[in-house]
Amino acid sequence: MQTARSLVVFAGLCGAAGVALSAAAAHAGGGNVGTAANFLLLHAPALLAVGLLGAGRWLNAAASVLFLGLLLFAGDLLARDYLGGRLFSGAAPAGGVLMIAGWIGIAIAGLLRSPR
């Protein structure tokens, strides 16, 4: 599957998971669940936009790093509430660093993009 197409699929899955987790947080509580839901919902549109643009290797790579960070960060928060422990030591901070790197990569892609 192409990276751009994959990002659109990932965006849809992040959005759906964000809505489902928001409902779970509202009904069952859990600050970590609510935080994970917020992160998923906030990043889904960015992944969708990059996937729909399909604008180059750098932008797609940056969005892929963003997605990987989102999985680690949200996954670790959810593991704490639902599994009673972390994914692995440092998973959430590593995910956060990857999300920051992904956003910086998106900014760099904007600077590198040639005007049409």
Reported pTM: 0.87
pLDDT at 75: 95
Distances, alpha carbon 63 to alpha carbons 32, 75, 79, 116, in Å: 24, 18, 24, 22
* Residuewise pLDDT in 10s, the chain (116 residues): 588 888 899 999 999 999 999 999 999 877 899 999 999 999 999 999 988 887 788 888 999 999 999 999 999 999 998 898 999 999 999 999 999 999 999 999 888 876 55
A 10 A CB-CB count for 87 gives 19
pLDDT at 28: 84
Sequence spans of domains, the chain: 3-112
How many helices (H) and strands (E) the chain has is answered by 4, 0
